[in-house]
Structure 1
Amino acid sequence: MAIFHMNFSNISAGKGRSAVASASYRSGEKLYSEMENKTYFYNRSVMPESFILLPENAPEWAKDRQKLWNEVEAVDRKVNSRYAKEFNVALPIELSEDEQKELLTEYVQKIFVDKGMVADVAIHRDHDENPHAHVMLTNRPFNADGSWGQKAKKEYILDENGNKTYTANGHARSRKIWLVDWDKVGKVEEWRKAWADHVNSVFQEKNIDERISEKTLEAQGINDIATQHVGVTGNRDERAEFNKLVLENRQHKAELENLDEKINNELKVKQLKNFYSFNEKKVIAELSKELHTFIDLEHLEEKNKMLFNWKNSVLIKQIVGKDVSEELNKVSRQEFSLDNANRLIDKVVDRSIKAMYPTVDSNAFSMPEKRQLIRETESENKVFTGAELDDRLSMIRADSLNRQIVALTKRPFTSLTMLSKQEKYHIDNINNVLAYQGYNYENIEMSHGKILRNYESEEFSKELDIIQRSLKQINSIEEVRKIVEQQYSVVLGTIFPDSELNKLSLVEKEKTYNAVIYFNPTIKKLTQSELENIVKEPPILFSTKEHNQGLSYLAGRIRLEDINNKHLTRVLKFEGTKKLFIGEAKADKNIDPELLKEATNRNDKQSYKNEFYRDKNMENYQSVAYSDTSPAEYMNRLFSGVLISVLYNNENQHKKGLEEVEWDMERKHREHTKTGGLSR
């Protein structure tokens, strides 16, 4: 039976691939890479049949495989450049080798080369039953003079008078105009269908009954495993053997699916059920009934949000004097049950962490972070180890704070200082409204809604609306403050266990938090000498390649997902650590000055846009400035002698106490010697 197999992919710098190396592997030819100053050669037992097809306008040198792909890499030098498209395709074994080559050549010429692509074709025949071809296609067209052309151009959006139009931020509006349609959505599906049609046309011409389709078996309505025809009429025995293997494969696949399901279920049971005691299972059943939801990590998180919003709504009704006693009783009962459920789940999470991750210091992580680790373990059906575990924990810690705050406030976190100023603003709003009656914000709760009843009339609806909105914001800010303070307490308390954090201002805490997230992503305890060494000579955390990747992201050339270094992606997400990265990159002598300038300019513009947005959408917003600085300057300014003494206060006190004890013992020893050991 003829089969359809055709996969497309990109050969790109962003994925660390080389066009020259790819061409060498597929063609079996020894090729020298000018960019890497390296020769590639992959020895093959069966030499591929390779050739290059040129479109109109292509220069003659493009027939030289080594020159062609070195030129491609030279013209596209961005870190995320896509050098070539590639597809591999199964050749129908119903045709002879010459017919296979003719079929492939006609298809590639008509579909790609005639449209302007250079096609580097390599036919592999290592196995008789699996003839296939690899085809590399250039992404850029050629100009009429043989030079490389452009894939797209920028076109400004003009008004009716032919003048440029601008955005609110003063940027000229423009759009990207593609000069070729090779990246158009649906193009790959079009190419796959064209191959199926081309093969079927040849089969029809040669009176071969077989047909292929680019659609999956499921899309064709066939619930079966795809099979491969191993020969023509003279190979009945081989076909019978293959069909036997197909049946065995179906059986093995079903067994593997059942086994995989059992493994998944077993792991989930181990994580979320086997760590419950018999009595806890009974309590879980009762709480699930009371809360009208299944008790697990996912459902409890949703229930927490729902109850938070419900309570806010009821409290506002109470403040304006409505009878909400029945609703408050319901909320109170739900809160009680939810607290019990959360405490029980937290116990189970702690047990799970200790059982599956014995090397993790459970006390160094907040409960939301430990919950997230268990959730990811379950969802990915994998217990993380080694560097992967460190990366996962760092990512969870960096993301958990922002995720919780966005869930509460619907906006990204900037700083605790900003939250305090916003809270004061809303309290002042309430005080201004209540001042006419001689009351203030502190009197509201004590009055049980009596103060606000005078505002229930239509005449004072505006004032009542101000109070309701401000009260909701104050409540939300208080919840956010708890989350942020907990995060600071856990992280800084883990790294500096002997510190007196209450002596630090909020600004100092935030700056210290940024510094340790940047230089100590695994959140390990730092001795005073270790911290002083980091301050004295901050380590260079990223290579030139990573500096280029980070700056390319900041310049808008690549996506964050294209960067493999997890710590770098975390650093680039937050404004404070982002500035430290830029400062480190500036000291890298191998960085292209133009890329650095483009990245810093775009980042500054983006920061300005974020500030502009917050100022417009957040009442009384106060900017928190992150000035450009090198890591050395930042650390030296931040970790002064005063801050060091606060972070290591208890440790220094302990050392001082030991010294005093030693001195006192020495004094008594001298007195004892002086008196000859006689009692006084």
Structure 2
Amino acid sequence: MVTRSKGGCCVASAAYIAGEKIKNERDGKIHDYRKKHEVVHNEILLPVNAPAEYRDRAQLWNAAEAAEKRKNSQTARSINAALPRELSREDQIELVRQFCEQCFVSKGMCCDFAIHDKNDGNPHVHILLTTRKVNKSGFTDKERSWNDKKLLMEWRERWADWCNHKLYFVSDARVDHRSYKEQGIDRLPQIHLGVEVCAVERKGFKTDKGNKNRRIRRHNLEVEIAELEQQMHDLRSEHKKETIDYIESNIGCKVADAFTIHDKRSVLEQYEKYLHSRNIPCELIFYNEDKYELFVPKSKRDMAVNLLKQFRNQYCEMDNQPNTQQLPISQKKPKHRI
């Protein structure tokens, strides 16, 4: 919420999210955020019974300020949400517009939203909502039901639904409205900085809230790195097991009961075909561009060696080269790695 008791002002918030210059008629202060180049779109959505002049941002939020008399008044409701990077700009705008129309404007709120994008992979939307009912004459009574926490949870779920609806046509990515804790994810949520703190941080000064968010981001990155390392370990283990199972199913014995032949890929591929043509079980495995191994059961060792010597002689004769190279047969147990 934008609250006066905490130094908040809905005119200042509106100027900030829209990247515009607006004068607060209540105290005469001018809020100028025209240097905010990350604002890529801003728009005002009004209920059908709202005054037409409220389409002007300055008039809308000065009217909202004027409607509040107490020093601790809540002058507006502020909502921020990340936008799916997979969506085009047009789809992002349409997503926000449809969400706001369904959840806020249809209930009688005036809605002011702006999309920010610094091209840093973090497009997001700022939504500013009025807190009073409105008619053709202006703002009337405070609508307390809009403060219901159940309604907030409903909005979060609706936002995820709208995002996933748009993403369905362009990506496999999905949005989950639940908190990290509810999802069972070991992440810490960042705290909201607010307009004033953001302004201080942009000037190069560190704040307590900013420092806390930096610590949270560092923690989350460390957790993510640890999770990725564990996933890589699990994948390597799974790959090793599947490789061994695959070899054993094709050569008819345990890997420990096989010997391996090392050579260039082109040579080993010919070896494999040659042995298969003579009913010798074998399997060629490659680990990377430089390492290839041909697995053959030890029980077929003598037969395979003789056949491969014959093949080597034929291979060398075809290349018109003397057969001076020894057959590279390893006595060691094969090592399996990615």
CA gap of 1:251–1:192, structure 2 versus 1, over 3 A, is: closer
Name the counterpart of 1:350.
Answer: none
1:221 lines up with 2:184 in the alignment: yes
CA gap of 1:211–1:33, structure 2 versus 1, over 3 A, is: same
Counting only pairs closer than 5 Å after superposition, residues 50-449 of structure 1 correspond to structure 2 as 50-143=42-135, 145-151=136-142, 181-204=145-168, 206=169, 208-223=171-186, 249-250=222-223
**How far apart, in 2, do the equivalents of 1:132 and 1:76 lie?**
29
Q: What is the letter of the counterpart of residue 185 of structure 1?
A: K
Is the partner of 1:37 in helix, strand or coil?
A: coil
Deviations 1:25-76 (A, max 9, x none): 1111110111111211022233441110011200111011111111111111
Q: What is the letter of the counterpart of residue 122 of structure 1?
A: A
Q: Alpha-carbon deviation of 1:247?
A: 8.8
Name the counterpart of 2:14.
Answer: 23
Q: Work out whether residues 26 and 48 of structure 1, in 8 Å CA contact, stay in contact via their aligned partners in 2.
A: no
* TM-score, scaled relative to structure 2: 0.54
Counting only pairs closer than 5 Å after superposition, residues 26-37 of structure 1 correspond to structure 2 as 26-37=17-28
Counting only pairs closer than 5 Å after superposition, residues 630-645 of structure 1 correspond to structure 2 as none
Is the partner of 1:89 in helix, strand or coil?
A: strand
**How far apart, in 2, do the equivalents of 1:53 and 1:189 lie?**
22
**How far apart, in 2, do the equivalents of 1:41 and 1:141 lie?**
28
**How far apart, in 2, do the equivalents of 1:253 and 1:74 lie?**
52
CA gap of 1:81–1:94, structure 2 versus 1, over 3 A, is: same
Q: Work out whether residues 39 and 115 of structure 2, in 8 Å CA contact, stay in contact via their aligned partners in 1.
A: no
Is the partner of 1:84 in helix, strand or coil?
A: strand
Is the partner of 1:182 in helix, strand or coil?
A: helix
**How far apart, in 2, do the equivalents of 1:251 and 1:27 lie?**
34
Deviations 1:570-598 (A, max 9, x none): xxxxxxxxxxxxxxxxxxxxxxxxxxxxx
Deviations 1:203-259 (A, max 9, x none): 22x052221111123312344689xxxxxxxxxxxxxxxxxx9996328999xxxxx
CA gap of 1:248–1:23, structure 2 versus 1, over 3 A, is: closer
Name the counterpart of 2:37.
Answer: 45
CA gap of 1:223–1:102, structure 2 versus 1, over 3 A, is: same
Name the counterpart of 2:259.
Answer: none
Q: What is the letter of the counterpart of residue 147 of structure 1?
A: G
Q: What is the letter of the counterpart of residue 115 of structure 2?
A: I
Q: Work out whether residues 28 and 48 of structure 1, in 8 Å CA contact, stay in contact via their aligned partners in 2.
A: no
Q: Work out whether residues 53 and 60 of structure 2, in 8 Å CA contact, stay in contact via their aligned partners in 1.
A: yes
Q: Work out whether residues 225 and 250 of structure 1, in 8 Å CA contact, stay in contact via their aligned partners in 2.
A: no
**How far apart, in 2, do the equivalents of 1:200 and 1:107 lie?**
12
Q: Alpha-carbon deviation of 1:195?
A: 0.4
CA gap of 1:186–1:79, structure 2 versus 1, over 3 A, is: same
**How far apart, in 1, do the equivalents of 2:126 and 2:224 lie?**
32
Q: Which runs of 5+ in 1 are unaligned?
A: 1-9, 153-177, 227-244, 255-680
CA gap of 1:36–1:250, structure 2 versus 1, over 3 A, is: same
**How far apart, in 2, do the equivalents of 1:33 and 1:182 lie?**
25
Q: Work out whether residues 39 and 114 of structure 2, in 8 Å CA contact, stay in contact via their aligned partners in 1.
A: no
**How far apart, in 2, do the equivalents of 1:88 and 1:46 lie?**
15
Q: What is the letter of the counterpart of residue 199 of structure 1?
A: C
Deviations 1:413-472 (A, max 9, x none): xxxxxxxxxxxxxxxxxxxxxxxxxxxxxxxxxxxxxxxxxxxxxxxxxxxxxxxxxxxx
Is the partner of 1:109 in helix, strand or coil?
A: helix
CA gap of 1:197–1:46, structure 2 versus 1, over 3 A, is: closer
Q: Alpha-carbon deviation of 1:124?
A: 0.6
**How far apart, in 1, do the equivalents of 2:12 and 2:108 lie?**
23
**How far apart, in 1, do the equivalents of 2:133 and 2:220 lie?**
48
Q: Work out whether residues 55 and 113 of structure 1, in 8 Å CA contact, stay in contact via their aligned partners in 2.
A: yes
Deviations 1:479-522 (A, max 9, x none): xxxxxxxxxxxxxxxxxxxxxxxxxxxxxxxxxxxxxxxxxxxx
Cα RMSD for the two superposed structures: 2.5
Extract structure 1 runs of 4+ deviating beyond 6 A: 251-254
Is the partner of 1:56 in helix, strand or coil?
A: coil
Structure having the higher helix fraction is 1
Using the aligned pairs only, state the percent identity.
Answer: 36
**How far apart, in 1, do the equivalents of 2:20 and 2:39 lie?**
9
Structure having the higher strand fraction is 2
Q: Which runs of 5+ in 2 are unaligned?
A: 190-217, 228-338
Is the partner of 1:71 in helix, strand or coil?
A: helix
Pairs aligned (count): 198
